[in-house]
């Protein structure tokens, strides 16, 4: 039996909306949560992803106590170094150069708030990037796909040509771990 309460996605990411649609979930509304996404001092990447996912969900849930609210966040990390959304092409180049020929981890934070209670999950996916030439980096930067993407790349776009390993949830790297999302919503009786 499913709960018929409204389902709200607390995200401005069109990718998360598309990912939910991929598994047959259409939120009743999308309400982006505006907050400072800067890491706290000594905050580990996984902790940051969980904290931001919960903060986004809580920011919306305070005014929508009748609804179930989904919050999510994606943090790309090379070791403990967090690679946020690059401010410009020069920073995107630095990120791609750092990721070149290495493995990194994409941390996904997921939170569903129902009746004031937060249900939080963390998903980590290991990603390998082949060694990139300067020409490949230039080609990717020229595409503009790096704009607004954690770590400076979108695995679902041209950067797929650079990825030689995905160990774990592919959809987590895109922006939302679908298996864990479906399991969490199903366990809470929220799948329709």
Among all residues, which ones are annotated catalytic? Answer: 73
Cα pseudo-dihedral 87, 89, 90, 94, rounded to 10? 90
Question: Rounded to an integer, what distance in angstroms lies between the CA atom of residue 191 and that of residue 31?
Answer: 19
Cβ neighbors of 113 (< 8 A, separation 6 or more) are: 54, 57, 58, 61, 68, 69, 71, 119
Spatial distance between the Cα atoms of 43 and 77, rounded to a whole number of angstroms: 12
- In angstroms, rounded to a whole number, what is the distance separating the alpha carbons of residues 78 and 105? 6
Q: Which long-range contacts (CB under 8 A, 24 or more apart) does 37-45 make?
A: 37/73, 37/84, 39/82, 44/80, 45/75, 45/76, 45/77, 45/80, 45/82, 45/105, 45/107
């Amino acid at each position: 039996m499913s709960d018929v309460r409204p389902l709200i996605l607390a995200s401005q990411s069109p990718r998360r909306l598309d990912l939910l649609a991929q598994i047959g979930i259409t939120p009743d509304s999308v309400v982006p949560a505006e907050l400072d996404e800067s890491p706290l001092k000594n905050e580990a990447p996984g902790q940051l992803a969980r904290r931001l996912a919960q903060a986004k969900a809580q920011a919306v849930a305070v005014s929508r106590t009748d609804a179930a609210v989904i919050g999510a966040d994606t943090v790309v990390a090379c070791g403990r170094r967090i690679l946020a959304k690059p401010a410009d092409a020069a920073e995107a180049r630095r990120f791609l150069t750092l990721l070149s020929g290495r493995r990194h981890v994409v941390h996904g934070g997921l939170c569903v708030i129902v009746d004031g209670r937060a249900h939080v999950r963390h998903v980590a996916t290991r990603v390998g990037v082949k060694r990139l030439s300067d020409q490949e980096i230039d080609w990717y930067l020229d595409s503009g796909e790096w704009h607004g993407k954690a770590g400076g790349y979108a695995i679902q776009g041209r950067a797929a040509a650079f990825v030689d390993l995905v160990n774990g949830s592919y959809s987590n790297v895109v922006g939302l771990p679908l298996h864990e999302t479906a399991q969490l919503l199903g366990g809470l009786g929220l799948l329709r």
